[in-house]
Amino acid sequence: MLAAQLLETVRQFLVANPPDGLESDFIVEFFANNTPTLVSIFELALSEQAPPTDERLDAENRGKWAGHNEKTIETWADNTAYHAWLFSRLLAHRPDLATAVQRLCETKGLSWETVRAESRLVYRPVPAVVDGVLVVYEADQNLEAELPGVITRTAFGEFAKAAYWSDDLSPELLSELAGSWFAQQFSLPSEPMDLSAHGDRLEELVTQTRLEGVLGDEVAERRLAVRLALLQAAGVVPDARRVSLPKPDPNLALSADELAEAMQSVPTGPGERQTANLAAVATLLAEPTIGDAKTLLKYTGWGGLTIEGVRSLLPANLAPDEKALIHEYYTPPNVALELSRVLSPLRGGLPRGPSGEILAIEPSAGVGRLVNAFSVPGWEAVNWTVIEYSALSASILRRARPDITVIQGSFEQWILSAGGRRADDEPRRADRDGSRPALTATGTTDGRRKARRHSLHRAKCRELRRRQVKMPRLATPRNRQPVARRRCQHATYGRAAARLVLAQPCERPTIAARLVAWMDS
């Protein structure tokens, strides 16, 4: 069809604009006598450039399976020549329509068993809950059993409750999952919903959308409205598994001298550490008052401690997990302060912003030991943007240091969502509520490069599939996805992070250039 259309366009152009020495009548006669041959040549040329038909059709219909019913698929089957593709995809995405698909296979003369076998190899969105977080995989039926935490197709209520606490999944994807995976007739709300009872949740979604570079609250309000509509359709209420923490008060920020003094008194013994940790959590839950920061800065983490006997004193979402009880240690304050002292002579050579501030980023801040050490007297010009994966550690740091920007999440996710925006793309006001980063990467992971890497990744996946090497894909990046499921993304993340570091002034530019060249190879 496309080849014939292109050929007709060329014919009309040549007839209207005949080359020197040729008459329009001759061109008309030439095309009339050679059209079948020319169409075949065009089709061959296009086939070499176009993606395989199945992949093209998959891309065209991505996210459009939820709205179908028996009547619409019968109409579709009557108007397409790709019956094998259509029926295998319907079985994969909409198994609730299996009876209608089987009947269509008989009508169109296709083997039902062959279509079923092909449907098992079709990638489609698969929702799962991992570590209490809703993630969406893309996997075929053969891999589904190997994925952790997959939500069964009958557990629509579980999905709706998990979706409520999901920050970044789009309304379109949630709607598609509701209609395809759970076979629920769900439509996006068309009328405004009353969000007043969910103010804290809305604020969290606004923080996420600002991190993604979205100005205004409309996107966050739409995300919340869809999540509430899912709860309403499922007839459930969200689990009360999050504690709403009071907002930090910027007026209570410690001075540089007070910060240096507070870093001198950190408990070291197991009993002292446990007592200080519980006091810090209790302070975090209470309204901000003078002196809170000094209590919070004594938090040491739970590495090497036990919470048996005190578990009931900790809110569920602030209690340390098994990994934290083994690995949660922070840089000793005396080591951090000594690093600050040794590096202080280099302050004059650091690049500064328009108003003289030193823009600095900490990709894994913990409770801010190094950040605090580089905020003591002499380092007042540092403007910190910090990222911390642990929700508890990030909350403690945000409360103890309300004068800096604290983002809870992974550095990789921040690079993907905020790293592509140059600092001079728009006026950068360093918000202190953790909603916007004060520093962004300077063009090292712009949209074109991300798109190119995504295309390369998909090409590699296609090649693996041709070789029968199967692996699941994550439909959306999440900061708390299982490490084993993020391997295919780590190369891109690592290059972006390394380029951010290597973009800074370096005494050995040749080494930096060689590292970048190695990462690109």
293-311 tens-digit pLDDT: 999 999 998 888 888 878 7
% of the chain at pLDDT higher than 90: 40
Is the model's pLDDT at 315 over the cut of 50? yes
Question: Residue ranges of the alpha helices (H) in 50-111?
Answer: 53-60, 70-78, 83-93, 98-108
Compute the distance between CA of residue 431 and CA of residue 405 in angstroms, rounded to an integer.
7
Compute the distance between CA of residue 409 and CA of residue 398 in angstroms, rounded to an integer.
13
Is the model's pLDDT at 498 over the cut of 60? no
Domain spans, the chain: 2-50, 54-119, 250-409
**By mean pLDDT, which of 14-23, 313-322, 398-407, 498-507 is the weakest?**
498-507
Give the confidence band of 410 by pLDDT, cuts at 50, 70, 90: confident
Residue 37 neighbours by CB under 8 Å, 6+ apart: none
Per-residue pLDDT reduced to its tens digit, 178-196: 999 999 977 777 778 888 8
Give the confidence band of 132 by pLDDT, cuts at 50, 70, 90: confident
Can you give the pLDDT at residue 342?
A: 93
Compute the distance between CA of residue 509 and CA of residue 521 in angstroms, rounded to an integer.
18
Could you tell me which residue, 501 or 250, shows the higher pLDDT?
250
Can you give the pLDDT at residue 243?
A: 65
Q: What's the whole-number mean pLDDT along residues 128-154?
A: 89
Tokens 């769900």 appear where?
186
Q: What's the whole-number mean pLDDT along residues 356-380?
A: 92
Phi-psi region of 356 (alpha: psi -120 to 50; beta: other; left: phi over 0): left
CA angle 95, 100, 101 (to 5 degrees): 65
Compute the distance between CA of residue 178 and CA of residue 150 in angstroms, rounded to an integer.
14
Give the confidence band of 90 by pLDDT, cuts at 50, 70, 90: very high
Can you give the pLDDT at residue 423?
A: 37
Give the confidence band of 472 by pLDDT, cuts at 50, 70, 90: low
- Among 131-135, 488-492, 508-512, top mean pLDDT goes to 131-135
Give the confidence band of 113 by pLDDT, cuts at 50, 70, 90: very high
- Among 257-266, 409-418, 446-455, 468-477, top mean pLDDT goes to 257-266
Can you give the pLDDT at residue 416?
A: 64
Is the model's pLDDT at 457 over the cut of 50? no
